[in-house]
Each structure stands twice: as C-alpha cells, then as structure tokens.
Amino acid sequence: MAYRALSEQEAVQYVKELPGLFEAGAILSSREIGDGNLNLVFHIRDEATGKSVIVKQALPYARVVGESWPLTLDRARIESEALRIQYKYVPDLVPQVYHYDQELALTVMEDLSDHILMRKGLIEGRRYPNFAKQIGRFMAHTLFFTSDLGAHPYEKKALVGTFLNPELCKITEDLVFTDPYENAPTNSFNPLIRREVEEIWKNKPLKLEIAKLKYDFLTRAEALLHGDLHTGSIFVTETSTKVIDPEFAYYGPIGFDIGAVIANLLLNYAGQHGLEKDGGKRESYREYLLTTVEDVWNEFVSQFVQLWHKQAKERSAHVEGLWQSYVKRLIQDTAGFAGCKILRRVIGLAGVADLNSISDEKTRAEAERLALLIGQELILKRGGIEDSTDITDIVRNATTRFDQEAAAV
C-alpha cells in the first residue's frame, strides 16, 4: 500500500486486518490523540473487552511554529526497530511493538494510556519513587548491550548501519549544539532574558566546550542511544516507567542519554521557582529532584558496571582500571550534555512546559536565568566532576548564587 495518512476509520480497518490483535467481529473505537505536529497517534479500543492498542503513523513533515518542513518517514522504521531492540533488554520499560508497516510508516504498539507523561507529573509536583531505579536499568541495559562492551563487534557495526539516522541527528546537531549559542533564526526565548542570552553568545570558553561536546556527539559511536530521552519521552505511573518515542535513536556517546534525563529533572528544578509558591514545599520538592538526579546516575552506573563485570564480551574490557576511567569520563560527558540540553530548552526552538507554563513573564525569566546558570556551570565545570554529588553541588551552589543575586536586587 502506498503511503497516505490514515483516517480514524482507516486505522480501525487496518488493525482489524492484523492477525492476533482483536477478535473477528470486534467493534473498535478509534480516536486520534497525537498533537499532529509530527505523527498521527490513534487510540484504538475494543469496547467489549477493554483491549486497546496504539497506532502511530509518521507524517511526512514536521509542523513547527505554524510552518511545515519535510521530515523523513524513515523515522518510523528507526522508532520501531529501536523499540524492538530495547524490548529485548528491558521488556517492562518500553511499549511492545505488535506490527510495523514500512510503506505506511506505521507502528502498532502497546497502549500505555494508564500512564502520564513524566513532565506533566513533575509539573504537578508528583514523586516517582521507582523512577531512578527503572530509568537507570533502562539506560544501563540498552546502552551496555548495544555497545562494544556488550555486543559482538559485527553486531555492533551492523546496528550502526541500521541507525545512521542523518535527518533526525541533524535536528539535534542544530537545535541542541549550534543554534542556541549564536543569534540564529530558530531561537525562541523570553525577551526578558536577552541580556543573559547575549552573554552566552559572547562566552568563548563556554562555546569552545559546547563545540567539543558537539564533536563528540558527531563522532563517538558508543552505543545505540534513545537520542531524545527527556521527560516528555517517558511515561510514568506511581510504580511504572515506560520509555517511548525513540525516533532519534542512533549510535552516539552514552552520556547524551543520561544527560538528557538529568537535564530535564533540572529544568523542572529551575521551573519550581515559578511552579511552587510555597517556599517549604518548593525546597522539599527540589530536594526530591536532586536526590533523583543522584539516584539516576548511581542506579545507572551500578547496573552498568555490574553488567560490565559479568557480561562484557570484549576481551580488553577486563583490563585493570578501565571501567573506573570509563565511568569518570562518562559522568563528565553526562554533565556536559545535560548542560547543553538545559541551555537549548531555554534559548532555542522547543521550550519545556516546566518553564513555559509559568504564566508570569518576570517570574518565568527568573526561573530561566537559574536554568541558564545551572546549564553553563555543568558544561564549564564538568572536568572536575567525579560523582553524582558533584553534579548536585553545582546545582546547589548555582541556586545559592542565584538567590543571593535576587536578594541583592
């Protein structure tokens, strides 16, 4: 079947014809629940049994601030293949793929609508006590088993070829690593922070470090990344974590995924300046977020190193001292990538609701200033980081400075 965007009824017809999903004669309801910017997302449900699936179809364009630009349908293949690989290693942490259709750029997968987006949950001030352990396991397993440590070199190289993903990588290369640090037309920031943004554009040591991080992103094919692991790509309940939307999957530096998770926790941390009016509650929630940052790293690293010791196939992996030097470099990468991810969300295209939902512009500008401060410090001070508390210390110190400057005004 040649590509065409499906209607709700066509989506129903499509899944009815797939074997093994619904009973013959089932009466299915269909509801398009996507935001329509990149993909159609149909929620299809058998009202009699309650059974449901998601049909996700890529659109051949991205709609950004009202305008469309063409975007490869190949991202549906990337997404479904990445989900299948992740499912192999952490079946409880990703939606199961039931069917993929290359012509229609369409994936039928497990319905997770009992979960909510983690970004939404954090904005509402909820806590997820299992999240750090679960996302730590997601990253440790998916990254380890697709890396040269856990995969046969032939398998790894074949996967590199499967996930070259040039178009979606280009989006990251431009929007995370380039545009926000110069006066680029894609940028979109609060006019009240123009002075701070212009200081960043002139900050040579910062731009040098970001250029190095970009070069690492371009060249360091360490493992099959999720590639866009922010809190809007994570579904949660009180007890469950599900990682979705790996359209940006490709072979890159491992710290990029870990950094994305930490960056988005810290964007919420900065957003608390405007999200939570009660000082005590804000303080307590921020402590929860910082503990989660530490736990995410600690869980990741303890599970990753355990896999390394027990399952590394690469003969050189067991050389004395290697894992320690690897982990040290990795936490520094993580901090650097987290910093870029924070800055781009404040300055560049595509902000985050953790900041954008602060209705008062001035309060929002203050929260954004704090985010910029944290992002820059993570990038510039990453060379001294050895442990997750070094990351949270940077955040705490930046917050103290921010509070003092605010008090001095």
Q: Is 203 annotated as a binding residue?
A: no
Is 169 a binding residue for a second copy by CB under 8 A? The answer is yes
- Convert residues 292-321 into a mask of x (bound to a second copy by CB under 8 A) and - (unbound): -----------------------xxx-xxx
Question: Please, what is the minimum distance in Å from the beta carbon of residue 209 to a second copy?
Answer: 9
Q: Which of 194, 212, 281, 401 binds a second copy (CB under 8 A)?
A: 212
Helices 361-380 and 194-202: angle between axes, nearest 10 degrees: 20
- Convert residues 222-241 into a mask of x (bound to a second copy by CB under 8 A) and - (unbound): x-------------------
What's the CA gap between 46 and 359, in Å, rounded? 40
Q: Using CB under 8 A, count the residues that bind a second copy.
A: 39
What is the footprint of a second copy within residues 317-356 (CB under 8 A)?
317, 319-322, 325-326
What's the CA gap between 236 and 391, in Å, rounded? 25
Is 148 a binding residue for a second copy by CB under 8 A? The answer is yes
Residue 220 class from Cβ within 10 Å (0-12 exposed, 13-18 middle, 19+ buried)? middle
Q: Which is nearer to a second copy, 147 or 268 (CB)?
A: 147
Question: Please, what is the minimum distance in Å from the beta carbon of residue 348 to a second copy?
Answer: 14
What's the CA gap between 147 and 126, in Å, rounded? 34
The tokens describing 390, both together, are 């070094």
What's the one-letter identity of residue 90?
V
Is 160 a binding residue for a second copy by CB under 8 A? The answer is yes
What's the CA gap between 392 and 301, in Å, rounded? 16
Is 164 a binding residue for a second copy by CB under 8 A? The answer is yes
| Part of the chain binding a second copy (CB under 8 A), chosen from 107-115, 162-170, 341-349, 386-394 | 162-170
Is 165 a binding residue for a second copy by CB under 8 A? The answer is yes
The tokens describing 8, both together, are 């709700």
Q: Which is nearer to a second copy, 30 or 165 (CB)?
A: 165
Produce one character per residue of 261-270: b if its CB has 16 or more CB atoms within 10 Å, e if not: bbbbbbbbbb
Is 161 a binding residue for a second copy by CB under 8 A? The answer is yes
SS3 category, 396 = helix
User: Count of CB atoms within 10 A of residue 232's CB?
Assistant: 18
Question: Please, what is the minimum distance in Å from the beta carbon of residue 355 to a second copy?
Answer: 25
- Element of type H or E holding 335: helix 322-347
Question: Please, what is the minimum distance in Å from the beta carbon of residue 131 to a second copy?
Answer: 29
Is 157 a binding residue for a second copy by CB under 8 A? The answer is yes
What's the one-letter identity of residue 194?
R
What's the one-letter identity of residue 215?
Y
Helices 131-146 and 255-275: angle between axes, nearest 10 degrees: 160
Q: Which of 51, 115, 126, 220 binds a second copy (CB under 8 A)?
A: 220
SS3 category, 127 = coil
Is 72 a binding residue for a second copy by CB under 8 A? The answer is no
Q: Which of 218, 294, 298, 356 binds a second copy (CB under 8 A)?
A: 218
Helices 204-219 and 361-380: angle between axes, nearest 10 degrees: 70
φ and ψ at 389, to 5 degrees? -70, -25
Could you list the residues that contact a second copy (CB under 8 A)? 148, 153-154, 156-158, 160-161, 164-167, 169-170, 173, 177-178, 204, 207-208, 210-212, 214-215, 218-222, 315-317, 319-322, 325-326
Residues marked as binding for ATP?
39, 56, 110-112, 245-247
